[in-house]
Each structure stands twice: as C-alpha cells, then as structure tokens.
Amino acid sequence: METAIFDATLDQLTSGGFARLTMEGVAQAARTGKAALYRRWASKVELVIDALDSTLPRPSDTPDLGSAREELLYLVESFAAVVHSRSGGAMHALMAELDHEQAALFKDFMAQRVIEPTKGVILDILRRGAERGDVRPGAVTSMVADLAPAMLLYRVKICGGQVGPEFATELVDEVMVPLMRN
C-alpha cells in the first residue's frame, strides 16, 4: 500500500505541482482512505518528503575505477539519470514551484538526504585520487566537492532541467578535472 501511496504522490507532484497535490487526491489515486494517510502523515509536506526519501536512490560509495575522473564520471552520470527518473521529475516540479518560504520546509531533507551524502562520496573519490596521485592534495576540499551537486541543481532549477547525456562528461572534463589537477 505504501508503494501505491508514494507512486500517487509523485504522480500528482509531477503532473500538478505541490500546490495542487492534495491528500484526497493521493488517497483516491492510491485507492485508500484520506484518514489512513493522515494517520501516518500529518501534512502533505511530510508525505512528499517520505515519498521522495523512499524513491530517490541513495548516494553510495563509488567503486574504485582506477582514476578520479572515471569515478566522478560514474557518479555524475548516475545523478543525471536520477534527474530523468520519476523521482527526479517530482523533485524538479517541487523545486520549480516553491518560493523561498516553502522551500525552507524541504531544505533539511535536501541537505541531509541528498547534498551532504553526495559531498561525502565526492570527497572520498578526491581522497582516493590524491592517494593515487591523479588529484592534487589541495583539491580535496569541501568547496570542490560542492561543485558537482551545485552544477546539477543549477542546471535543474535555473536552466530548466538541461541535463543531457553530455552533461556528466562536460562537468567532469571541463570543470572537475582542471580543478583537481592544477
């Protein structure tokens, strides 16, 4: 039942946006009662956060592929794939619609669930690269680790979701690799 509820939530979010998403609509689409939703989620904000949390892939350790470039490319390509997934579409709809005050409701979720774990994985890649000698030690910083998720969010939020197949290669080869090696 939870899967049906989360699917209905993401569908409503993607098709109508956060403002039009209702507990009634989710309940109807999931073929359950509105009271059942309110027993578990006090608000649609809580429901959306749980739906996204359960469906977004978790940043995980990137395998040692022999070079920081290959590992970053692997990671950024996986992020780009998420942008085009059902969960990514829902996140895009949510981010495009929310004003600053509403976005604050989702800020902690994004930081704890997406941004910080992603930065951790990138820092691990940079450290491994520094140990191998393909990343200069001075590039193993939080600022460098911020670049990939920042560029992805910029492309999605400001540029209207322009994350094509070349995005990962361009980001890694034109931004990350020069920073790691100079």
Q: Which of 15, 36, 52 is the last residue of a domain?
A: 52
Structure tokens that stand for 83 in this block: 């942008």
pLDDT digits (tens, 9 = 90+) for 66-75: 999 999 999 9
Residue-by-residue DSSP string for 99-159: -HHHHHHHHHHIIIIIIHHHHHHHHHHHHHHHHHTSS-GGG-SHHHHHHHHHHHHHHHHTS
Q: Which of 52, 67, 87 is the last residue of a domain?
A: 52
Whether residue 100 has pLDDT greater than 70 = no
Return the CATH number at 47. 1.10.10.60
CA distances from 63 to 8, 22, 52, 121, 161 (A): 34, 41, 25, 10, 27
- Strand locations in 5-137 (E): none
165 pLDDT band (50/70/90 cuts)? confident
Dihedral (C-alpha) 60, 61, 67, 72: value to the nearest 10 degrees?
20
- Mean pLDDT for the stretch of residues 164-182: 90
Higher pLDDT, 173 or 109: 173
58 pLDDT band (50/70/90 cuts)? confident
- Say if residue 125 is in the same domain as residue 161: yes
Per-residue pLDDT at 39: 94
- Say if residue 30 is in the same domain as residue 45: yes
- Where does residue 13 rank: exposed (0-12), middle (13-18), buried (19+ CB within 10 A)? buried
Domain of residue 76 covers 56-181
Q: Which of 79, 51, 86 is nearest to 148 (CA)?
A: 79
Per-residue pLDDT at 124: 95
- Say if residue 129 is in the same domain as residue 103: yes
